[in-house]
Amino acid sequence: MCNTVIIDDEQSGRQMLQALIEKYFAQQVNVVATAESVAQGAEAIRHHQPDLVFLDIEMPEASGFELFDRVKLSFEVIFVTAFSEYAIKAFKVNAIDYLLKPLDATEFRLAVNKAISRIKEKSPAQAPLVEWLKGFSKSSKIGLPLSDGSLFIDVNEIVRCESSSNYTNIYLDDGKHYLICRTLKEVEESLSGYKFLRVHRSHLINVNKVSMFSKNDGGMIILSDHSKVPINRQGREAIENLLNSF
């Protein structure tokens, strides 16, 4: 989930952006704060450390460009303004895009998708959240990057992980689950030092949580939380090899 701050002096502008985000990116973008001035926006950025900022330019107290004199540019920027003459200056600060009001839904979606891609490509050193599952090789504690911070849990609390496009649902043994901004492949690589097994294109399971293996319907795993996970041929072979090792 990409944390976002919206800075626009007009309430209608803030509401429009929130509505578009909710309509097209509800599972990918989380608006953590809105601000009606550069001063408020700078405070929100310092507090929330967002991944993405939607920024108006012409505002009563200060120009949107003055924001960069007040905070470190550690986030992606999409300018949203009614004025076209600032485009060149906007791209000098490496902005993702420069959208003109009234917003075009197609252009908005392209800009946000571009921002999400760039955020994912950032190196861990640049990421604003705690680096996930790094430096824990001697510990069973890991950190899950959530929209409002990181949740630290014991690895064995994880029952299974399920792919959701470029995101992954992490299911815990207390019945809770969390959607994190990582692909299942990234999760699998991060958990490679623990007892997790990829049994299906979309499923990674904690071997310690397996309750039953059924060969019916092509093969299925039943886990400790009573969830049923399909398995492919490779997963079936891996499970059978695991059972044969006992």
Is 135 domain-assigned? no
Is 99 domain-assigned? yes
Helix 105-121 vs helix 11-24: crossing angle, to nearest 10? 70
111 and 186 share one domain: no
Q: Which two tokens stand for residue 80?
A: 């949203």
Among residues 39, 21, 38, the alpha carbon closest in space to that of 30 is found at 21
76 and 156 share one domain: no
Q: Domain holding 209: CATH number?
A: 2.40.50.1020
Q: What is the number of domains present in the chain?
A: 2
110 and 12 share one domain: yes
pLDDT recorded at residue 242: 62
pLDDT averaged over 10-residue windows placed end to end, the chain, 246 residues: 95 96 94 96 94 94 91 91 78 81 92 89 44 43 74 89 90 92 86 85 90 77 91 75 57
- For tokens 């029952």, what's the residue? 159
pLDDT recorded at residue 136: 37
110 and 185 share one domain: no
101 and 185 share one domain: no
- For tokens 């009234």, what's the residue? 102
Is 30 domain-assigned? yes
Find the largest Cα–Cα distance for the chain: 72
Give dist(CA 10, CA 130) in Å, integer. Answer: 33
Span 28-70, pLDDT tens digits: 999 999 999 999 999 999 999 999 999 999 998 899 999 998 9
13 and 114 share one domain: yes
Among residues 91, 76, 36, the alpha carbon closest in space to that of 60 is found at 36
**Per-residue DSSP letter, 67:** G
Span 2-16, pLDDT tens digits: 999 999 999 999 999
Is 132 domain-assigned? no
- For tokens 């093969």, what's the residue? 219
Give dist(CA 161, CA 24) in Å, integer. Answer: 24
228 and 218 Cβ atoms separated by less than 8 Å: no
pLDDT recorded at residue 61: 87
Read off φ and ψ for residue 34, nearest 5 degrees: -125, 155
Give dist(CA 55, CA 1) in Å, integer. Answer: 19
Is 134 domain-assigned? no
**Per-residue DSSP letter, 104:** P
Is 126 domain-assigned? no
Of 88, 121, 154, the domain-final residue:
121
Is 224 domain-assigned? yes
pLDDT recorded at residue 132: 40
Among residues 191, 200, 199, the alpha carbon closest in space to that of 157 is found at 191
